[in-house]
Structures are given as C-alpha cells and as structure tokens.
Structure 1
Amino acid sequence: MDKHIRQRVSMYNPIHFLALGFGSGLAPKAPGTFGTLAAFPLVVLLSVYSSLVTYLVITLIVCITGIWICEKAAKDMLVHDDSSIVWDEIAGMLITMIAVPLSWQTLVAGFILFRFFDILKPWPISYLDKQVHGGFGIMIDDVLAGVFALICLHLGLYFI
C-alpha cells in the first residue's frame, strides 16, 4: 500500500477495519492471501458452532455489506480496489467453504482453490474484474472465485 493511501485509512474507523480484513490487508506482501487467511477463524466458528442456514445467512450478510464496506473504503482511499481491501477475500473464502466438512485438509484445499481462482481470474471472473466497478465490482470477482472454488471442492470431495 502506498504511504499516501495509508494516510487516508484508519484502523480505528470500523469500515476501514473491516475492509482491511481486521488489519490483514496491511501485510506488505500478498495482502489478498493474508485476507483469505483472516477468514479462517470465521469459517471455523461458523462451521463448528452454527447450522448451515446460519452459515449461509452470515455469508450473505458479509457479501451484501461488503459492497458498501469496500465502496466506502475505496472512496476514502481515493483508489479503486486497492490491494489492501480484502473484505472480498473473506467473503470468497466463506463461500468456498459452504457445506464443506471441516478439517485441516479441506481448509487447505479450499484456500488453495480460492486463491487459484482469485489470482488467475479465468473467464468470466476476469471480465467482471475489468468491467464492473464500485463496491459491487470489488466484491463480484471474489464472490465468483469463491463459487468456482466451492464447486471444485465439492466435486473433489464427491469423487475422492
């Protein structure tokens, strides 16, 4: 993150705190990876202590509020989709792990699959990443990467 952009955000601002993935987006290298890892405690808590319906509702709330959170943080930073905004990675990882039996192996597989789709951005993810702007644009490519990873993870679990 550019130091001028860093001066425009505050970890004391709850919107910035969330958009920056509880601070994980401030990692000097690979903030998206650290943002994805920041989702792990939430994934584990929801997988272990809630029903599938609760998991889905919270994931939906994270995705919908993420549009506003990411939009506001990007406007405050004066930059569209700065790499430090990682709320979208948290949402993508939550999507990836929907209805997946929780184990360290499935967490690692989900992480690898999500990062694969998030980094490489195969079509239509790449199209959406380039064509859709604002908070929705920041969120939609990671939401779709999460859906792709979810499908692959479930197919892998089914056939293995």
Structure 2
Amino acid sequence: MTTSHKQAPAFRPDWAFLMRHPAHLLAFGFGSGLARKAPGTWGTLVAYPLFFLLLALGAGPLLISLLCVPLFVLGVWACQKTGDALGVHDYGGIVWDEVVAMLLVLAWAPAGWAGWLLAFALFRLFDIVKPWPIGWFDRRVHGGFGVMLDDIIAAGFALAVQALLASWLPV
C-alpha cells in the first residue's frame, strides 16, 4: 500500500482499530494518540508514567537510555504497520515516536518538577518547530523509521539545550 506523508486516512481511527493489532495500540501510545486536539502532546505525556515506573524500579539515566534502543526498534515496526493500515505515513495519532523520544529526554533531565517541566517544554518545542535538520529528515525519511527518527533528533536538540539550562533550574 502506498502511504502519503500528510493526508488524512480513509477512516478515523478509534479504539476498535487500536484493538485490532498490538502495533496499533503501541503506535497510538496506548490510546493517547486518539486525542482530537494535540495528540503529540498527549503522547509525550505517556512517557512520564513509564519514566517514573523505571525510576521506582531503580533504573538510572544510562539504563533508561539503553531501553530506548529496543523501544525505538519496536516503534519502527509498530509505526510502519499502523501507517500502512491507515494509508498515511505519519498520521498525527501515531505518537510512539514522542513516547520514546521523551523518555530519552527525561532520562537525563534534572530531577524534580522544574527539570521534568523543562524536558517537556524543550522536547515539544523542537518536535513542533522542527528546525534543520529535524524538518529535513521528517520530509525525506519515510516509513516507520522516518516516523521515529525525526523525534529522536528532536530529543537530541532538547537534551543539548537541557544540559545548557540545567544549572539555572530551581532545586
């Protein structure tokens, strides 16, 4: 099936669609991508409970970062499968890319509400604005890998700025 980058699917995905295949449920961030307004933002928020669970289990930044590698690979598969089913390469409701990228940013965020808020703001900024080279990759790399790639690059930008600003955060 040929998929397009920025067109609407032939049908509006719903819970029934998500339940048809585990890839759809994952790609839609366990349902957060069904939000009619700002699904990417809702998908980004899904990373927080995962992050806090990993923290509670004793995972540190390096372990969480390493966990993002298989989650990225899983996302390539899930986003490709879901994009193919929808007939749309990067449908807005596909948010697993935001979940994984935000989890990576949170892994290195300064501990505390200010650091976690900064991580959110920076990641959303770079994911939405898509400065070069993020936008370049977003337009040119397609399929599940392309869906995942531009958000990981946005996470890299967020991590760099986060590192620069971390010392000015309230404790």
TM value normalised by structure 1? 0.91
| Structure 1 position 12, deviation (Å) | 4.8
Q: Does 1:4 align with 2:11?
A: yes
Q: Does 2:40 match 1:36?
A: no
Runs of 4+ in 1 over 3 A off after TM superposition: none
Whether 1:149 and 2:158 are equivalent positions in the alignment is yes
Contact 2:62–2:107 (8 Å) recurs in 1 = no
Q: What displacement does 1:90 show?
A: 0.3
Q: What 5-or-longer segments of structure 1 have no aligned partner?
A: none
Please say which of residues 56-65 and 27-36 is displaced more in the overlay: 56-65
Output the aligned Cα RMSD.
1.9
Measured after TM superposition, the shift of residue 100 of structure 1 is: 2.5
Match of residue 100 from structure 1: 109
Distance 1:99 1:145 in 2: 14
State the distance in 2 between where 1:144 and 1:53 align.
18
* Stretches of structure 2 lacking an aligned partner (at least 5 in a row): 1-7
Matches within 5 A, 1:62-141: 62-141=71-150
Deviation at 1:97, TM superposition (A): 1.7
> Please, what TM-score do these two structures have when normalized by structure 2?
0.86
Is residue 2:27 matched to residue 1:19? yes
Deviations 1:105-150 (A, max 9, x none): 1111100000000000000001000010111110111010011101
Q: Call closer, same or farther: CA 1:155–1:47 in 2, change over 3 Å.
A: farther
Q: Is the 8 A contact 1:125 1:141 kept in 2?
A: yes
Residue 11 of structure 1 and its aligned partner are, at CA, apart by 2.8
Contact persistence 1:44–1:102 (CA under 8 A): no
- CA distance in structure 1 between the partners assigned to 2:153 and 2:69 by the alignment: 13
Kindly tell me the number of residue pairs found equivalent between the two proteins: 160
Question: Within 1, Cα distance between the matches of 2:131 and 2:89?
Answer: 21
Structure 1 residue 43: deviation in Å? 1.5
Counterpart amino acid of residue 15 in structure 1: A
In 1, Cα distance between the equivalents of 2:115 and 2:37? 25
Q: Distance in 2 between matches of 1:102 and 1:65?
A: 28
Per the alignment, residue 57 of structure 1 pairs with 66
State how far apart, in whole Å, the 1-side matches of 2:158 and 2:63 are.
21
